[in-house]
Amino acid sequence: MSLSRAAQSVVHFAVLFSVLGCGGGGDAPIELKGAGASFPAPLYQRWFAEYSGSHGVKVEYASAGSGAGIKQFTEKLVDFGASDAAMTDEEMAKVEEGVQLLPMTAGSIVMCYNLNDAKGKPIADLKLSRAAYAAIFLGEVSNWNDAAIAENNPNVQLPNKPISVVYRSDSSGTTFVFTQHLSAVSEKWKNGPGADKTVKWPVGSGAPKNDGVAGAVKQNEGAIGYVEFGFASKTGITMASLQNKSGRFAAPTLETATAALNSIPELPPDLRAWLPDPEGDNSYPIVSFTWILCRKKNPDPKRAEALKHLLMYCLTDGQKVSEELGYIPLPANVSQRVISALDNITSGGGNNS
């Protein structure tokens, strides 16, 4: 009985593991460098630290933002990039060795806020309708006791306090996912700021990366911003429940994010798939894959094989710690497609010497 392509890949990498794991006869460890998205950074750093400690390969990852990751990858400053916004055809055309996009994990974008009620007690169970949160980021709802917010929070004493919007100031895949969703639920947003890694925000102030946005929100009562779920969970910042496509309010949890991810159709051949407004009664409305960016042709065979083995680890054993850090493990059918795509990374395309 013949093995599937994915199964053959697993066998190949098991053999490669034994080769790399033996230390190469005393050779210095291979160093792999990556840069990009801050959305999956806590998970990537966990994966890379554990892999570096037991496989004779040193992996460094700089959480620089998706835009910076694409730029450094394109300019050959790193072995791999990372982005929450899958590279466009135009961006990939700039990479002469070809690009293989690999979805590695998935997660949700949450709206975090810092708000006390009229009596000074922290509000921990805020619900925001699609119309309300779109209007907040458009600057059309500017006070916390606005009727658009109050109608879905009848048991909350909302304060008469201005809303302070905080957004990502850097080129960010998190911003792309967030604004792509806003474009899906609001015609005004779609025909105004639109969806991109950076947009012209109608209102608010900027802060860099997830930690910058979360820090600004935590330091300013009345503030609201958007960050990655795992990061928000780790920092203990308060998150709002959001109205989904079915009209229900979904709390940001791994269960509601997984429900959204399960609504995705079959992955296309290029492994670029989006969920700007997922179906399902229990689906959280802002969920996305995040991608590792690899050159299809690598001039150094050893580095190409080391990178492929690292990614195989991330797609197998690494998935087991995803939920612990607030991320969604890839469904089995998705991980098998990605494992098969590792075969597209080969040596060739020049010489480093």
pLDDT per position as a tens digit, 309-339: 999 999 999 999 999 999 999 988 899 999 9
Arithmetic mean of pLDDT, 128-147? 98
The token duo for 35 is 């840069």
- Residue carrying structure tokens 């606005």: 146
For residue 330, which amino acid is it? L
Query: Domains in the chain, ordered, with CATH?
Result: 5-107+287-347 (3.40.190.10), 109-261 (3.40.190.10)
Mean pLDDT within 211-217 = 95
Question: Measured between alpha carbons, how far is 54 from 108 in angstroms, rounded to an integer?
Answer: 30
Please, what is the average pLDDT of the chain? 91
By mean pLDDT, which of 6-20, 87-101, 103-117 is the weakest?
6-20
Instruction: Please state the φ and ψ torsions of residue 313, each to the nearest 5 degrees.
Output: -60, -45
Q: How high is the pLDDT of residue 26? A: 53
- Give 277's pLDDT tier (boundaries 50, 70, 90): very high
Task: Looking at mean pLDDT, say which of 44-53, 147-156, 297-306 comes out highest.
Answer: 147-156
Mean pLDDT confidence for 177-194:
98
Q: What is the pLDDT of residues 16-57, one digit of tens each?
A: 443 344 444 456 789 999 999 999 999 999 999 999 977 889
Q: How confident is the model at residue 54, as a pLDDT?
A: 77
* Cα 134–chain centre separation: 21
Confidence of residue 164 (pLDDT cuts 50, 70, 90): very high
CA angle 326, 271, 72 (to 5 degrees): 75
pLDDT at 29: 85
Q: So what's the pLDDT on residue 349?
A: 54
Q: How big is the chain, counted in residues?
A: 353
- Up-side HSE of residue 318: CA atoms within 13 Å toward CB? 24
Identify the pLDDT of residue 310. 97
**Residue 300, amino acid:** D
Query: Nearest Cα to 34, choosing from 58, 57, 61, 59?
Result: 61
Residue 150 CA to residue 344 CA, distance in Å, equals 53
Of 20, 37, 21, which is closest to residue 80 (Cα–Cα)? 37
Residue 85 is given by DSSP the state S
Distances (CA, A) of 69 to 100, 153, 258, 307: 15, 40, 26, 17
- Give me the pLDDT at residue 93, please: 98
What average pLDDT does this structure show over 249-262? 95
Q: If pLDDT is split at 50, 70 and 90, which confidence band does 180 have? A: very high
CA-wise closest residue to 85 among 111, 103, 60, 59: 103
Q: What is the pLDDT of residues 264-276, one digit of tens each?
A: 878 899 999 999 9
What crossing angle do the helices spanning 5-21 and 301-315 adopt, rounded to 10°? 110
